[in-house]
Structure 1
Amino acid sequence: MPTEPLTFPMTASGPFDPAREILAMRGERPIARVRYPDGRLGWVVTRYPTIRAVLADHRFSARQELRGSPFSAAEIPPALPGMFIGMDDPDHARYRRLLTGQFTVRRMRRLAARVERIAEEQLDRMEAAGPPADLVREYAAPVPALVICELLGVPYDYRERFQADVTEMIRQNATQEDRQRAMTDVGGHLGELVRRKRAEPADDILGGLVTNGGLTDEELTNIAFMLLGAGFDTTTNVLGLGAFALLLNPGRIPALTDPETADGAVEELLRYLPVVPGTIRAALEDVEVEDVLVRAGESVMVSLPGGNRDPERFPDPDTLDLTRPATGHLAFGHGVHQCLGQQLARVEIRAGFSALFRRFPDLRLAVPPEKVPLRDDMIIYGVHELPVTWGR
């Protein structure tokens, strides 16, 4: 192992590849030292089986106050009531059970027709405005925002303000004051929405939780906050970064527009795109990982892109092959904290790409690839803009 620990942020190795340090680790060592911004030493793991083992091991905690942050040296408080992604069982399980029935495969498939209509409506607007267009602003961002706002019962006229606040919260170089202002703004709007749902329950996820969840206003507000953020930014960047990759490899697009192959093609895109850099766990006791002793209290970052590019699990992993059987990828994590909204994300990604490339079969970049601005400054990776054109 190297004497000097890795540091954050790590260096992007290419628009569609994990960080250079992660790629270097892949063939050399499965676990390496990393220094967090607050000065604490922890670990990072990149091998597929090791990542799954850490995420499934109850000796590693998801409690956010125990974990180091790769993005900030500020002390992180315990998760607020309802923010169950930063909790362990039984608190995590109690909240998650209330939402599991809202995100079933059957319900998400029933939602597919509505997602398709939303996608087509956004494409109508983009076509009417004419080329060129920023595909992120005109399509990749509004489609998942509209879907999750509709599911939760959040008024559409709040979408743009919410989108700006979420962007501020996940910008790596945002100040603590900027993040707090954005969080306060979102929380205020959602708290008012919860109070309105109490008075007039509606047939949406938030309305169902108000009626049947037995939750406080604070818990409901925080759950809505968490679901809005999770349901918006990651899918937006899969659509944006995925479109960038596909426009550079147009011969692969038919796999996404053919109903027979679209589901498998979506799984491969999820495997290939390094949108979520990883997640952090804290050791509750001394644990041996890959013949290395991780001490109690140390944080371990699991590199989801590293696992998805593990050649022992996915042969020729750095190639985007939409005919590959990519099931078992780690884009949604693993274990009890695996992404609750993954079926919704699959529906949105499949409908989003299918509608886009059916409507604009001659879609192409409007700028050279090297001019596309990458989200190197954000926690969730992707593209800030994707200038595209079509027609003559």
Structure 2
Amino acid sequence: MTRTLPTERPADRPFDPPAGLRERGPLSRLDYPDGHTGWLVTGHALVREVLADQRFSARAELRHLPVPGAPGGDQPAPPGMFGSMDAPEHTRYRRLLAGQFTVRRMRRLTERIQVITDEHLTAMAERGSPADLVPALARPLPAQVICEVLGVPYADRDRFHQHALDLFRLDNTPEQAGAAYAALHGFIGELVEAKRKTATDDLLSGLTESDLTDTELVNIGFTLLGAGLDTTTNQLALGVFALLEHPAQLAALRADPGLADRAVEELLRYLSIIPFTVRTALEDVELGGQRIAAGEAVTVSVPAANRDPAHFADPDVLDLLRKTSGHVAFGHGIHQCLGQQRARVQLQVALPALLGKFPTLRLAVPAGEIAPRSDMLIYGVHELPVAWED
């Protein structure tokens, strides 16, 4: 029996994976909206096996996506879109990018994250209770950080972020998606042109010293911006929401800010805001006792893998003290998220700073009134109203 991918999260359990997802078993058949029949992988061990096995391709032209309205794979990824490539093309871009994440640059970025966080929390306190945490902190923090990483003028952050939001909506028509893509692509093209003329101390300027073409630079910038902005925004907002709904865990982190590293890893595992990633078998592959035929798509469920009881004890419990080794919130294998350390630092700085600044922080509305972002590919919340005593 084949079925479509479950996407609706339980209304009364907004932090849990989509209903029915884990009940499918670790490996099952899956119907794709374009008529293709492939596979769904939910077991933690099998997910890591797929993502580490280069016989499963990330190439764009082979891809089938499990959500309605998504374009089928028919064209290779444009130059620079390394996330949709296999080795050796993927390796070339990855090495160039890794060389830009110098110790000096990352140390300076960490210091800036602390300054930016304090600035937004101070402004939030001055405006007073209540507040919406999304525009107050969760959105501007990663927006400013990614702008500084790539050298995007901070004055343009709102325009850029709106383009990114438009692009990742699940209810886009093809025309709307095309317009959002063109707007964001054009924005980054202007940025690359400016860096070619006047380089500054940022990642994108550093890449202009390589042999990359303007097209490659634009697409690399597009990839990094898309991967590092909306994800961190929603991980931060949803993470605060989850903590406020788990008072014992909130109290533990507030009492010991040094717990932030472990808290971030557990929130990454527990929330799993990236719903899936997709691979295609390049040849017949034996997986979990089944033969995956060459050309068949394999959808890997990140939320299900991170809640697999075969790997995590009591996986549906938020436990900031647990060992989260092996979670796949950032993927696994050669395509594991390149910006994961930057995302971690933002969360490790922002969460204890927020709780320290507002020791009485609470939800300003009943939890059931906070609507999840079911209209977006990346899970989270559009708003998070919070309140505190001055």
Q: d(CA) in 2 for partners of 1:104 and 1:326? A: 27
Match of 1:24 in 2: 23
CA contact (8 A) 2:160 2:187 kept: no
Which of the residues 230, 235, 240 maps onto 2:232? 235
Which of the residues 244, 255, 258 maps onto 1:247? 244
Q: d(CA) in 2 for partners of 1:254 and 1:121? A: 24
Match of 1:364 in 2: 362
CA contact (8 A) 1:103 1:340 kept: no
2:46 corresponds to 1:46: no
Q: d(CA) in 2 for partners of 1:104 and 1:284? A: 35
Match of 2:272 in 1: 274
Matched to 1:6, the amino acid is R
Gaps of 5+ in 2: none
Gaps of 5+ in 1: none
Cα distance, 1:255 vs structure 2: 4.2
Q: Which residues of 2 match residues 151-300 of structure 1 at below 5 A?
A: 151-211=149-209, 213-257=210-254, 258-300=256-298
Q: d(CA) in 2 for partners of 1:337 and 1:15? A: 28
Match of 2:304 in 1: 306
Cα distance, 1:274 vs structure 2: 2.2
Alpha-carbon deviations, 1:64-100, whole Å to 9, x = none? Answer: 2211112235333321110100000000000010011
Q: Could you tell me the TM-score, scaled by structure 2's length? A: 0.95
Match of 2:123 in 1: 125
- Aligned length, in residue pairs: 385
Which of the residues 49, 55, 78 maps onto 2:51? 55
Alpha-carbon deviations, 1:242-301, whole Å to 9, x = none? Answer: 010011112212444534322111111111112011100000111121111111111101
Say which is worse superposed, 302-311 or 246-255, in terms of deviation.
246-255
Q: d(CA) in 1 for partners of 2:258 and 2:388? A: 26
CA contact (8 A) 1:108 1:347 kept: no
Partner-residue secondary structure (3-state), 1:20: coil
Cα distance, 1:237 vs structure 2: 0.8
Which of the residues 72, 87, 93 maps onto 1:95? 93
Q: d(CA) in 1 for partners of 2:27 and 2:46? A: 9
Matched to 1:148, the amino acid is I
Cα distance, 1:110 vs structure 2: 4.5
Say which is worse superposed, 99-108 or 296-305, in terms of deviation.
99-108
CA contact (8 A) 2:152 2:191 kept: yes
Cα distance, 1:21 vs structure 2: 2.1
CA contact (8 A) 2:63 2:280 kept: yes
Match of 2:380 in 1: 382
Cα distance, 1:151 vs structure 2: 0.9
Q: d(CA) in 1 for partners of 2:106 and 2:154? A: 20
Matched to 1:180, the amino acid is G
Q: d(CA) in 2 for partners of 1:151 and 1:225? A: 13
Match of 1:74 in 2: 71
Q: Which runs of 4+ in 1 moved over 4 A?
A: 104-107
Q: d(CA) in 1 for partners of 2:178 and 2:329? A: 28
Q: d(CA) in 2 for partners of 1:105 and 1:367? A: 42
Alpha-carbon deviations, 1:204-257, whole Å to 9, x = none? Answer: 00010012x211111101111111111101111110110100111122124445
Matched to 1:242, the amino acid is G
Alpha-carbon deviations, 1:330-382, whole Å to 9, x = none? Answer: 10100000000011011001111111111111111111101001011111001
Q: d(CA) in 1 for partners of 2:102 and 2:327? A: 20
Q: Could you tell me the TM-score, scaled by structure 1's length? A: 0.95
Q: d(CA) in 2 for partners of 1:73 and 1:142? A: 29
Say which is worse superposed, 67-76 or 352-361, in terms of deviation.
67-76
Match of 2:136 in 1: 138
Matched to 2:35, the amino acid is G
2:346 corresponds to 1:348: yes
Identity of aligned residues (%): 55
